[in-house]
Amino acid sequence: MSLRVKSNLKSILDQKGISIRKLSEDSGIPFETLRRLYNDDTKQYQRDTIGRVCEVLNVGISDLLELTELSV
């Protein structure tokens, strides 16, 4: 069994009614970085980015990222 890290940013932003652009403005994180996280296309997770997203959205790391089984 292989595990992968999955981003839940899309569902969090949808629940809160916040756009990627608004999160970018509020957090100071580049739009493209957040777009990759939103679309679950991120290859590497920068600690500072994850920390800032959690801080601005008032969520925990386990809300933003989760381990899931890799579908084959």
Q: For the whole prediction, is pTM greater than 0.95?
A: no
Taking only the tens place, the pLDDT of each residue in 22-34 is 999 999 999 999 9
Q: What is the pLDDT of residue 70?
A: 82
Q: Which residue has the tokens 């809300």?
A: 63
Average pLDDT over residues 44-64: 97
Residue 58, phi-psi category: left (phi > 0), alpha (psi -120 to 50), beta (remainder): left
Query: What architecture does CATH give domain 3-69?
Result: Orthogonal Bundle (1.10)
71, pLDDT greater than 80? no
Tokens of 62: 């386990």
